[in-house]
Amino acid sequence: MTDLLEETGVVGEVKAWLEENWDPELTVAEWWERLGTAGWAAPTLPVGSYGKGLSRGDAVLVQQAIADHGALGAPGGLGLLLAAPTIATHGTPEQVEEYVRPIVTGQRAWCQLFSEPGAGSDLAGLQAKAEQDGEEWIVNGQKVWTSGGQVADLGMLIARTDVDVPKHRGMTAFIIPMDLPGLEVRPIRQMSGGASFNEVFFTDVRVADSMRLGAEGDGWRVALTTLGFERDHSDGSGGSRVGGGWQQLLATARAMGVTADPATRRALTDAYIGDRVETFVNRRAAELARGGTPGPEGSLGKLIWTEGMRRTSDVISRVLGPALIADTGEWGTYAWGEHVLGAPGYRIAGGSDEVQRNIIAERVLGLPAELRVDKDIPFKDVPK
């Protein structure tokens, strides 16, 4: 694939650009400004929206070329992965300039204000409401599982704006500054010891209509765009990976001296096969999404990824035994605790495994849709 891209000029182009522009004397802010405005921080974004219009597979090779050159990579975060492509898809030219540019240049951090205590897998059942008051909207309600909410500058909000239409048609998307009066963020302590998730409360929060993303009532379409990009990246193949991967697993088994055990070798072989299958599925999904919004293929990659995390947890538990939960000082032992404790949560994050299976069944396999008794009735009449 690398040779093919070099023939088409993508890798060669970024290498030539790096030769002219990379300067180790630049500050991080100066470099990110240069990288982002040139379109290399988020090359999957459209041309004209601070991107190059590349597929995710091409973008991974661009990232590798930047790393091989010894240059700093892009700023990363949910802004780059989710907010920027969503705004580039649904935003006005003014919103692209005002919000995408600071994302690709590393100036603003973002969070995603979608899930609620009563609307997780059934996101369209959300009840946080936004009521129009002249040129402003007044937002009230609660969001939960908001990753990075305590450090985000802005958030992507989906709120209920019309209860007289079916639930999928009565939502609107907004861009929310996280320091608005009436907005409160409360971290949630996880069993792994971290607190990356948050609850977010809105009490009469006023948002200008210019912060609306897309048309009024078009929030579900905006949300599907964001979720498509989220599933496209939540498989861990977008340049960084949550938890331990195959190489770390093998290195730990070797360090513990258990690779000669037949049962452990079988478990390691299964893990390796799963890792390779995941890689091939993700490459295929990247090609299918070339130049557009990721489709339902991303759900398969997400399922394979979470299954791989579970499998890795099982294998490392066999490899380490009691050392998994005791800090013995040996290399690679206690460090796996975060993976094992965190892995179950990723079966929910980015859309639960059950939702992913429904998407595959209905949108890929063409099976009959799940029965939805509330599909065509006004949201105000749906039992709560």
Question: Which one is predicted more confidently, 282 or 34?
Answer: 34
Query: If you average pLDDT over residues 330-334, what whole number do you get?
Result: 72
230 is catalytic: yes
3 state DSSP class of 204: strand
Residue 141 lies in a domain: yes
3 state DSSP class of 338: helix
Last residue of a domain, one of 190, 216, 242: 216
Residue 208 lies in a domain: yes
Residue 362 lies in a domain: no
- In angstroms, the CA 308 to CA 328 distance is 26
Query: If you average pLDDT over residues 294-308, what whole number do you get?
Result: 82
- Yes or no: say if 301 and 281 are a contact pair by the CB < 8 Å rule: yes
Query: If you average pLDDT over residues 313-331, what whole number do you get?
Result: 85
> What is the pTM assigned to this prediction?
0.82
Q: CA 42, 176, 237: angle at the middle one, nearest 5?
A: 30
Q: Both 93 and 183 in a single domain? A: no
CATH number of the structural domain spanning residue 162: 2.40.110.10
Number of domains in the chain: 3
Residue 323 lies in a domain: yes
Whether residue 338 has pLDDT greater than 50: yes
How much is the pLDDT for 230? 79
Residue 356 lies in a domain: no
Q: Both 94 and 114 in a single domain? A: no
Range of the domain at 132: 110-216
CATH number of the structural domain spanning residue 90: 1.10.540
Whether residue 49 has pLDDT greater than 60: yes
- Look at residues 209, 370, 234 and name the one whose alpha carbon lies nearest to residue 302: 234
- Look at residues 82, 361, 95 and name the one whose alpha carbon lies nearest to residue 210: 95
Choice among 93-107, 194-208, 257-271, 334-348 with the minimum mean pLDDT: 334-348
How much is the pLDDT for 24? 94
DSSP string, 124-137: GG---EEEEETTEE
- Which one from 230, 297, 307, 362 is the annotated catalytic residue? 230
Residue 331 lies in a domain: yes
Residue 383 lies in a domain: no
Say which residues have a Cβ less than 8 Å from residue 272's Cβ, sequence separation at least 6: 246, 250
How much is the pLDDT for 243? 63
Residue 49 lies in a domain: yes
Burial call 110-121: b when 16+ CB within 10 Å, e when fewer: bbbbbbbeebbe
Q: Both 45 and 146 in a single domain? A: no
Query: If you average pLDDT over residues 179-208, what whole number do you get?
Result: 92
Q: Both 30 and 91 in a single domain? A: yes
Q: Both 239 and 345 in a single domain? A: yes
